[in-house]
Every structure is written in structure tokens, then in C-alpha cells.
Chain A
Amino acid sequence: MLDTDKSELIKYWNSYFNYNYDMTNVNEYYDVDGIFNDYLLANKTDYELTDEICFCKKVDSDYLVYYVKNNKIVSDNFNVRAKRKLSNLINNYSVIIVDGFSLSEDLVSNNKIILRYELIRNIFTSNHTHFLSDSLRFSIDDNTVFFTKMFYIELFSNNNRLNQLKFTSYVLNSFEKGVSVDDIILKPNINVSQYGRWYWSGTEKIQNDSKARNKIYNKLLKYGKVMNIDLINGEPWILSQMSGSKTIKKLIKARIKLNSKGEHDLGNIIKNLLNIYIHSVNKPNVANAIFQSKNNSEDIKKIEKVLNCKMYDVICNISNELEEYNKNIIDSYKNNLSVTEFENS
């Protein structure tokens, strides 16, 4: 990264946080996230702590538990076999945050709230930082944020969000605990990406291999039925809800109609148009040229007939409908360093 870029970043953050950080402190090998976390660490302030929360990590075969004692964060180490001692400690806390592993439920009383760190981080930052809010700004290397009274209050300030977090933590734990079907064991390591997807590894490759999925289905079908639920054009549909784009909704409805008539090839053209256009963020003339070059002209004519509109006009309409939404996103990043979407989650 250029020094001028670093200088611009620091100037921008100094103005936002009202700090006066010195450019010479910036490590020249860091990327933006690294510099930002260093910046937050250098400008740390004091917070009141709570003894309602503990934080558990697994390091090799040991459990490491962090908690607040005499208004200071301390930690205890437990061998994987010392489960009773671990249980006795963590049951002193109403909220147990678990980082990177599934905590066995028999170690914890029913009235405790178990939350996964990866999911908390995605709800509050979706990024490699502990900048949870303007009032709760910490470096990724500093877990103090989770012991602050302010975080505890924030956690319980939104019931829907808390219930979703409890449920998704429960599901993530249950996936990682694993399940066996005859000779197949599904016991994944799950990486929660900053963009919010859950990537499975270390087990049957069910996410990207239909043969592996079919193998599981065939085993399950010996004992009962399997139900698959799919979102139809999930990403475009959600974008249409956030932006209010009527044209995206119209395209998705047209796709559903085409699929119901068995015209899946035409339906897939609409699906691909939406997915590619949404992620390429090209101008309408560029997006239209790419679309025309990748599809058969007869198919395009059929779709235009269904939509009663030329494809170029369809793309222009989407572009216009997304304009205000895009502007709000850009303004929010520039003014708040963040964007909040779906307030309840």
C-alpha cells in the first residue's frame, strides 16, 4: 500500500473518531484491516466490565476460559479431560461465548446462553475487526469488548437478534458435533466467512459435490424421507427487497413461471442475468453487451416476449431502481464506516 493511501486512511479515521494518531506508527507491511486494528488498539479507552460473560477457546487439546475477576480479565486453562472443573467455572456465567468449537451441552446448565463468537462478529461487524459500534471499538486482537457492560446491554437490547443468534449458534454447534448415517459420518469443521456463508471441510464434500450428497441421501432414504428447501434466486430476491426494485421481482416471477412450464433453459438465462449483473455492477450498456454475447438471440427474443420489454430496457430499469439504494450504501460507508441491513439481525 502506498504511503499516501495510508496517510489518507489515518486522516479519515482521525476525523471520524476524533483521534490524533501519528502516521509513523503504521506498520508498512499491513493491509487496511491490519492498520485499522492497530489504529483501534492504539486508541483504546477504558470500559466498565461485567462478570456475566465468559469466553472459551480451544487451544490444541486444552480449553482456555477468559472471565472477569476483580474488574480484570483473567484466564484459566483446562485439560480436555478436566471437564468437571471446566463445567464448574463456565456455569458461573449467564452468557458463554465459544470461539471455534462446539461446546458439549452436557457441560452447561439449561438456563445458560451459549453463543458462537464467529456469529457474533458477523452480526456486529461482518469483518476482521472488533469495531462493534461507535461506542464499542476494539482491535480484532482484543477480546475485552465481550466483557464490557456495554456489550452485555447491547446483546440484550434486541430480542429478535438475540434469539436468532442463540438459534444459529445452536445449529452451528449441532452441525459440528456431527451425525452418523450407517458408515458415513458427517462431522465438519465449519468456517464462517466474513460474507456470512458457512463452509464445510474435513468431512463428506456435500457442499460442492452432488455425488457426495446423493450418497448421503441414499443412506438416509433407507430410513425415511429427505426434505430439501431452496431459495428461488435468493440473492437477487433479497436485493430487490432491500432496494425496492420492482424489475428484479418481475424477472424472478417470470423465471418461476417459465420453470413451471418446463422452460428451464429460459429460466436459467434470467437467473444468470440477475446473478452476473448484480455482482459485476457494470453499466447497462456493458451488461447488455455481455448478456447479448453470451445468449442465443432466439432465446433472448422469447424472454423479451415474456417480459414484454427489450432486455436493454430491463437492465436500464434495474440500474435506475438500484441507484438510490447504492447511493445510500456509499453514503453510509463514508459517514459511518459501516452499513446496517436487516436491523433485527
Chain B
Amino acid sequence: MRIVNPATILMSEKEIIKEHRKYLQGHTHDRILLLAQGLYNNLGLIPMFTIHDSITYFINNHDEAPILDCVNKIAKNIKTPITIEILGE
């Protein structure tokens, strides 16, 4: 990801870093989508929605064990700690 800021010559170092930190929002959302890409490639799952640094799936009445196994493997692979919650168990 490339971030352009043509105004930095007018900004203090603190202002530059403060502005730059806002792009962490995008990095976390990209990370969530990277996880989703792995799930789609492995299991064909498509998410229902994302909320900034979380993602929600409807998994029907499938056995969640292989899904959880896959999610955990992807998270480990992309070195990202996550929590998983299954509703309706």
C-alpha cells in the first residue's frame, strides 16, 4: 500500500506521524480481508460484513471444527492474533 501526502513540507514531525497513524485503520481492514481471502480460497466462504477490524460469516449448519481449524491456520500464517466467536452453537 502506497500513501501519498504532498503536504508534509508544511507539517511538523508530530503532525506527520499523527496523520500517518490514521492509515493503521486501512492496514487492519486489509488484514481482515487477507484472512477472508484465505477462507474464500480454501473453503469458498464469503463474508456477510466487515466492521473495521472484525468480520462476520453465516456458516449455515456446517460443522464449525474444520472452519475454525482453517481460520486459525490462516491467522497463524499471516501472524495475526484473533478471537473467534460462534453464535448458535
B partners with A? yes
One of A196, A228, A229, A330 near B23 (C-beta < 8 A):
A196
**Inside 8 A of A305's CB, which chain B residues have their CB?**
none
- Per the 8 Å Cβ criterion, residues 56-96 of A in contact with B are none
Is A339 located at the chain interface by the 8 A CB criterion?
Answer: yes
Closest chain B residue, CB of each to CB of A123? B1
Point out the residue from A33, A186, A216, A342 that lies within 8 Å of B1, measured CB to CB: A342
Q: Which of A186, A216, A225, A281 contacts B59 (CB 8 A)?
A: A225
The answer to whether A36 touches B6 (Cβ under 8 A) is yes
- Min C-beta distance of A280 to chain B, whole Å: 8
Is the pair B10, A195 in contact by a Cβ cutoff of 8 Å? no
Q: Which B residues are CB-close (under 8 A) to A280?
A: 18
State how many residues of chain B have any CB contact under 8 Å with chain A. 65
- Contacts A164-B33, A224-B59, A231-B80; A186 near B27 (Cβ below 8 A): no
B77 contacts A by Cβ under 8 Å: no
Contact A230 B83, beta carbon cutoff 8 Å: yes
- Cα A231 to Cα B74 with chains together (Å): 13
Given contacts A131-B4, A252-B81, A342-B27, contact A225 B54 (CB under 8 A): no
State which residues 98-126 of A face B: CB under 8 Å: 122-126
Closest chain A residue to B34, Cβ basis: A164
Which residues of B, 71-87, contact A by the 8 Å Cβ criterion?
71, 79-87
Known: A122-B26, A171-B46, A339-B20. A334 touches B53 (CB 8 A): no
Say yes or no: B64 contacts A195, CB within 8 Å. no
Interface string of A170-192 (1 = CB under 8 A from B): 01001100010000001000000
Candidates B9, B20, B28, B52; contact of A329 at CB < 8 Å: B20
CA of A33 to CA of B8, assembled, Å: 12
Contact status B87-A226, CB under 8 Å: yes
Measured between beta carbons, the chain A residues less than 8 angstroms from B47 are: 171
Report Cα–Cα, A184/B73, bound state, in Å: 34
Alpha-carbon gap, A224 to B64, bound state (A): 11
**Across the interface, do A206 and B51 meet the contact criterion of CB distance under 8 Å?**
yes
B25 and A195 contacting across the interface, CB-CB below 8 Å: yes
Are A131 and B83 touching (Cβ within 8 A)?
no
Q: Which of A193, A220, A229 contacts B58 (CB 8 A)?
A: A220
B38 (CB) vs chain A CBs: closest residue: A167
- Of B40, B62, B85, B87, the most chain A CB neighbours within 10 A belong to B87
Neighbouring A residues of B87 by C-beta, 8 Å: 217, 221, 225-228
Residues of chain B lying within 8 A (CB to CB) of residue A326:
13, 17
CA A252 to CA B47, docked complex, whole Å: 27
Per-residue CB contact flags for chain B residues 38-57 toward chain A (1 = under 8 Å, else 0) read 00100000111111111111
- Chain A 141-177 residues near chain B, CB threshold 8 A: 163-164, 167-168, 171, 174-175
The answer to whether B10 and A235 have CB atoms under 8 Å apart is no
Please report the C-alpha to C-alpha distance between residue A326 and residue B28 in the assembled complex, in whole angstroms.
Answer: 19
Closest chain-B Cβ to A49's Cβ sits at a distance in Å of 23
In-complex Cβ contact of A129 among B4, B46, B60, B67 (8 A): B4
A228 near B61: Cβ-Cβ < 8 Å: no
Give 15 A-B contacts (CB < 8 Å), ordered by A residue. A127-B5, A131-B4, A171-B47, A196-B27, A200-B49, A227-B59, A227-B67, A227-B84, A228-B87, A229-B55, A235-B27, A238-B27, A278-B24, A333-B8, A337-B8
Chain A to chain B: the 3 pairs with minimum beta-carbon distance, closest first:
A196-B26, A234-B28, A234-B53
Known: A126-B1, A196-B25, A330-B8. 13 other contacts (CB 8 A): A9-B10, A126-B4, A127-B4, A175-B49, A195-B25, A195-B26, A197-B25, A216-B48, A223-B58, A225-B59, A226-B58, A338-B3, A339-B2
